[in-house]
Chain A
Amino acid sequence: AQKVTQAQTEISVVEKEDVTLDCVYETRDTTYYLFWYKQPPSGELVFLIRRNSFDEQNEISGRYSWNFQKSTSSFNFTITASQVVDSAVYFCALLNNAGNMLTFGGGTRLMVKP
């Protein structure tokens, strides 16, 4: 069985603050895939990033950055200089090696206040 834990259920920051969303996972697969999705109030899940288990290189995309630490089974997401438009629920997810089971964490609701 696989599991994804997002310990932070809600985070509130003021615009321009940096914020890190935590994600910890459990799996017995040696090959697996990690994702972050954003869900704004409209409901659509927006794909942000995919990281393969054999690639621990961190990634930066604009104000977003991801820190993958296989040793601690964590895949954290940092938003730099947050903006009101970043307000959403963010889900971390784990895809098994077989590619047929995507397990979501409980989600973190981020509120960015002006």
Chain B
Amino acid sequence: EVQLVESGGGLVQPGGSLRLSCAASGFTFSSYNMNWVRQAPGRGLEWVSFINTRSSTIFYADSVRGRFTISRNNAKNSLYLQMNSLRVEDTAFYFCARDQTIRGLKDYWGQGTLVTVSS
């Protein structure tokens, strides 16, 4: 069974940093491109970042470029999101999501971890 489990969320002050993790199991993690997608409370889904299998191709949404860094460790079946210079508007549930296809069909999602940016 495919499982994606996020961790690392919490309360942080504006300007602070957090590192999110996503532990994958039930599939060959190293064979799949991965993403972070976020959802502000009561709002819709916003794609945040993409990383391919070898970490050679990385994309970011304009809203986080220069502040967030995506990475992965295939040996540990883990995906990461380093979030710096956090803003109030970054408050959201952060989901990791697996890409089923090279075009980015997101077929499995974790349950999410909540990041709250507030003073």
Asked if chains A and B come from one complex, the reply is no
